[in-house]
Chains A and B, each alone.
Chain A
Amino acid sequence: EPEVTQTPSHQVTQMGQEVILRCVPISNHLYFYWYRQILGQKVEFLVSFYNNEISEKSEIFDDQFSVERPDGSNFTLKIRSTKLEDSAMYFCASGGPGQATYEQYFGPGTRLTVT
């Protein structure tokens, strides 16, 4: 069964450093998402991406964040200068090829720890 994959599973970085979180969505999906979950809290939407551009982004997704689909298979989330409060689990999800938000399938997540 196709699945969304994410690498790395756990990333530790120092405050101020740049990190890139990688995702490989399900191959025939067209809609891509990033969510985050601070430990013990609910899952929060960050950004959605379709047709090589951002469809929607939340207030959390400020100028420190960017997304890219560099090669038609990977979908990346970059945090330019990490802060302590960026420590969270980051989930990639993909959906489609039909209606965009009919179902979203989540990857296993990347646990980001900023020290």
Chain B
Amino acid sequence: AQTVTQSQPEMSVQEAETVTLSCTYDTSESNYYLFWYKQPPSRQMILVIRQEAYKQQNATENRFSVNFQKAAKSFSLKISDSQLGDTAMYFCAFDGGATNKLIFGTGTLLAVQP
């Protein structure tokens, strides 16, 4: 069975600094997709970034980038120049393609301090 693990329940970072959120997953599939979703206090789920497993290049979206290590089954999110608006719960999610569903980790609550 596919699983997603986020081992950091909470993290804190100073405004303008960089923070990395960890995620590991387990699968026997070779082609899959990985995502990071942000959930602010409003509880809306917002797609932050995606990574296709067949792509070796790490995805980047403005201040957000990932470190995708396929062999290690690791998918971390780096937030550069952290802003107060980045304060939210961050969920890592896995999609095996054939399974037609997202499997989420338990989330990391990120607090950006002024």
Contact = CB atoms under 8 A, between A and B. Distances in A.
Interface residues of A, number: 28
Contacts of B35: 103
A109 B37 CA distance: 14
Interface in A39-60: 41-45, 48, 50, 55-56, 58
A35 B33 contact: no
Interface residues of B, number: 23
Contacts of A48: 100-101
Contact of A42 (B44, B100, B107): B107
Contacts, number: 62
A89 to B, nearest CB: 6
Contact of A56 (B44, B93, B99, B107): B99
A106 B106 contact: no
A15 interface: no
Interface of B: 33, 35, 37, 42-47, 50, 91, 93, 95, 97, 99-107
